[in-house]
Chain A
């Protein structure tokens, strides 16, 4: 039986005869031929929808225009992507969308990066014949990290689809019908009252300014401008691998040194690195895992296994809503951002002789859930709000531009000490599988005294964009105090995107998961695909960012968290030992059961 791969269809597009496979859409064929067809509701990450009708094309023999994204080609199909009928339809459709879009471009966060603007420009819309609304019809919900402005919404439903398909959360849905359609939450509740996990994937997929992040830029400038405040900034691993995209560069460019230089020039007093606390997290979490394994295998106590990572606040809010019974499985370690904040206002403040009440901590994150995390009421272990403000990667780029700096022309600069040193294990936190890999590089060496048995320490089985990844390592010839693990095959799982997290957690709940350690990242691709990253996003873009992150790891001299000299120092001078009293106070946390309603 001939497989689909072998069958070839003959299709004519814009006069050119080409080959296509069964199942190819008109859009697929056009893209392969380098023919541009504009789209709006189509997104490469999401299932087809075919509702904006912008991509309509003429197909010979059909009275109706066909949406290129959702029409599969047939053998012998003759397609024309830009006839007069098509142009008239597209122009009218774009005009209709612009006519019902209420908002000022000049003050919009998506000014110059808006798909509606791009379409209007492409189609030369120089007038809108239909009367525009004269006033706002919807209230803006802006007290949460995710801000919704339905007046700018063009109802492409990409936000609804990503929340349903990739995240499995379904916090926002279309409500009402026809011209009254709008995107909202059930019972007209706010995002903060339903099961939204704040991951911001919706923001990444929104073509306009209907979905944006809550602004922190004004607050941060205010802090920087305040001479009485010492402003500390920490940057997440995923920032340095994507920031350049906001400055016209293609994805995959690493700009760590330039990023640091920009932050200095902007006026931050201390430029430090979240990667430092990422290394610290590995030490704490690695020991926590060993402690749980000891309890299970030596003391034969009941202990929650598998243990899951806890650095993704979108994941944390998700499990608090959906699997509160499994909260004991989550590591009690705070995320690197929060560990940093707590240490900045205690250890660091003391070291540099600044009073913690005069210190403002800012973090730059690829994430919108981090804004929520920083606001969590329990995150005040330093005695003050541990992390004052969180900027997304996009917000940082805006600030750099506001400061009149051209990122790519800056000369590389280095992070400050004593919370600025990091290893390759820390930077790979930004990619899915990275936390797992970093943890293994340390834990394996702790129990065996040897390097992980992978070339160049690159644990390939946990890398890549597969939704759920599994790996296992057999522990043999162990050091004396870890003999209880002799012969144990440690089973590991990695999931990214909450729909994949669900697959794993359902197994755990059913008692069918024989893993020891699970890494879960709320966002597809891991943090590099986070809700605060440059827009647009796609699988290709995320893969390029992952490439940059792994290149950064290879280029660093230190590749294992326990080799970080600043980490060693902070234990010697301050924390004393992993899971010790100081660690428990500042670096560990607890979680909150939340209902679904």
Chain B
């Protein structure tokens, strides 16, 4: 079924139209037509669906892409931008076109709606009365009785009626939720606001990553595209940790962060997953947590090589020196996480603590050169026998890093405002119908006086029909009671 262009607009004469339509006018009409809107939306749907089926670049690793597609196909996909649909220039252009179409369509239709909104139609003329589908005629004795009955009935249904003055008589007008006529523009505006926020974020927003060890401080963010960004402030990690459930699955990751600006601590917060730190529009999220492979503390016991002596507990960080007695000190000179011996040297194979070794330097003030004490005693290096003290490793504490996702989204407030506005707009659109009711005393051709009652609602018409029949019943009841009651409380008839 083809769409018709502007069926609600008055048809112009064919000859006039040809003259009048200029090129830009034609563009405007195309842009504002609902047909264009639908075509654009279908295109958006198809392209975004394609973007979920083809693997996307930033989220999928490069080698995975190469595994999934042949080089030839991958080259084509990359060239047309299908591997990063949502950031491709044509997708952004499409979104701009959609925005333009919404704006144009709203501008095109707004004046009519505004006229309708700002100048309510209060007195239904003859043609309107004839054409209105929901109406009823009730016989009345005189105009005033009819109007008073209608007023009372409207009042009991919660409508505030208004008397409209005509040249020779009054009529009644009552309405509710007139604002609902404007609501669709609110929804469109909110959609534009969301788009606009998204565009602002796409242009000026950024996302990156910071890895911090405990005690470390940094103002450098590694962005998604591999570039570095310097922040005008630094962030320091004072601690990070993981808590587990009893079955060993992680329950909570946390990092204690401090924002440092101009050398001063200006904000501090413990962040957890779902609760970021926000400083000057830059947000720090808990993203990952894990061991650095570096040593934090080595726990040792020391005992004199000769003679009986008590075991002494020591806790050493890298390069840290601890006194053993008045003459002797020990220093943790080297820590190798995953050691291997080859070519007469000690190397590390990896950065994870798999096969650790430590070199302690035992120095005595009495002279002699410092002694290398190795844990474990690696042959050819260890001088353990010469040491006045013997050491035993008890435990080692690893260092942990915390991974922070950093983002700056200056447009997000527009997005949230748009979301709230949309919620309000949709509520008005769907749940609050603009209801209008009229009551006009009319003298029919046969001379009988009747009260013409009619009404419309822009949504939920069947519910409205029910209310309308309720209203007309109420008016009849009021008319009956007025007929029964003496006329003392009536105002003199205007006729």
Question: Is B one of A's binding partners?
Answer: no
